[in-house]
Amino acid sequence: MRRTVKRWAVYALLGYGLFALAIYYYLYGLASGGLPEIYKGTSADPSVFLSGAEQALAQKYSTIKNFLFFISVPFEWLVYLFILVFGLSRKFEEWSKGTVRFSFGQTAIYLFYLSFLTFLLAFPLQYISYHYSRVYKISAQTFPQWMKNELIDFWVSYVIMTVLVFVLYALMKRFKKKWWLAAWTLFVPFTIFMMYVQPVVIDPLYNDFYPLKDKKLEAKILTLADQANIPADHVYEVNKSQETNSLNAYVTGIGENARIVLWDTTLNKLDDDEVLFVMAHEMAHYVKKHIYIGIGSYLVLAFFGFWLAAKWMEKLVRKHGEELQIQELSQLRSLPLLLLVLSMMMFASSPFSNAISRFEEKQADAYAIEMTQNKEAAISAFQKLAREGLSEVKPPWLVKIFRYSHPAMAERIYTIETYPLPDKQGKKMEENRGVSAQKSRN
């Protein structure tokens, strides 16, 4: 058995190294193509709104972040595999059972060992990502501020995971074959509950949320909300400038806890018309029921995910249980295997979920253009978002399908510029595009 385990470890390390080299070659070699001709000379052309130095910085920063993403995901799989094959998971389970007798306490202790070890092993890559965010002036956090958020992440995840894992393994013991169905049945109300409490319980752990200070701007936003038949009394502002220089706004929560949130960096760097377009975009997610569609899609995928994970794990334990030191699935020591399987399935399904999200974002952009009738503000807002966040205007194909839940900036800006509006502004945009193209040719 030990020989098999050593062979697995060698193959896993070799495969990870080859994958890292392949991704490096793809990002730094093959994926360095130019801007498609269709965007050149338009508002989507980065040379129109970014200097040469800014374009170079955006390219370097994006490539680094993309590389870190692609090597971090399989690194997580490698960690779970090594914890299994070298017996660490079995040891954690034995230590937890030797410490307390009641099962919830055993789950909490086991999960602390596992969470702390994975946190330590993932920390170098997390720190490298933070370091480059500081170097390229995206992050405004000091190391203590960043570390504070990392520790909050650890403890929030630990508390939630302890409850989930305890319930899950209780179901595994109670329902030997159909545990996955029972788990999914409880997962549905849990997901809805978390969506409901996140804006008012979890998010405030990281930042301060308060009603928008600029009451004139808030009145304009609430007028838009009224036009869209959205029952809103406040727009929320969050103090993200102490963490980042990038811009963002989003919709979170459901029911009476649903919130439209603006980062203060967005308010500081966009003018009122640009902010109104951003807000109209976020309102579109409410009007188009994207939050509920997202929850529904997530739960459907989770159903098949639980089923597939159960079948996959049963097969692995039946065939390799001795090497993995797992006799049955209901043992706590099988958790790294479950996390490994779920992580791999989530990564494999991300192109599908990202494609749905990009489609919804296109719908929200179109809704916002029609509501505000201000294409110039929309274009300038996205140009500023790209500049401040050092966004990759036209990402490589693999990066787009695995990382981008929003359309790429070049695509979004060009779509807005060419979006038909039956008014004077549509003609004005066409004239401006012609001027830009002429400048580009000259």
Residues designated as active site:
282
The CA distance from 157 to 115, in Å, is 9
**Cα–Cα distance list, 46 to 34, 36, 233 (Å):** 11, 12, 38
**Count of CB atoms within 10 A of residue 68's CB?**
16
For residue 26, what is the DSSP state?
A: I
- Listed in sequence order, the residues at least 6 apart from 283 whose beta carbon sits closer than 8 Å to its beta carbon are 224, 225, 228, 230, 260, 367, 368, 371
- Listed in sequence order, the residues at least 6 apart from 85 whose beta carbon sits closer than 8 Å to its beta carbon are 5, 8, 9, 323, 324
Torsion angle of the four alpha carbons 140, 143, 149, 150, in this order, in degrees rounded to the nearest 10: 130
Q: Provide the sign of the torsion angle of the four alpha carbons 393, 398, 400, 403, taken in this order.
A: negative
Contact 58, 386 (CB under 8 A): yes
If you compute the radius of gyration of the chain from its CA atoms, what whole number of angstroms results? 24
What is the β-pairing status of strands 259-263 and 236-238? parallel
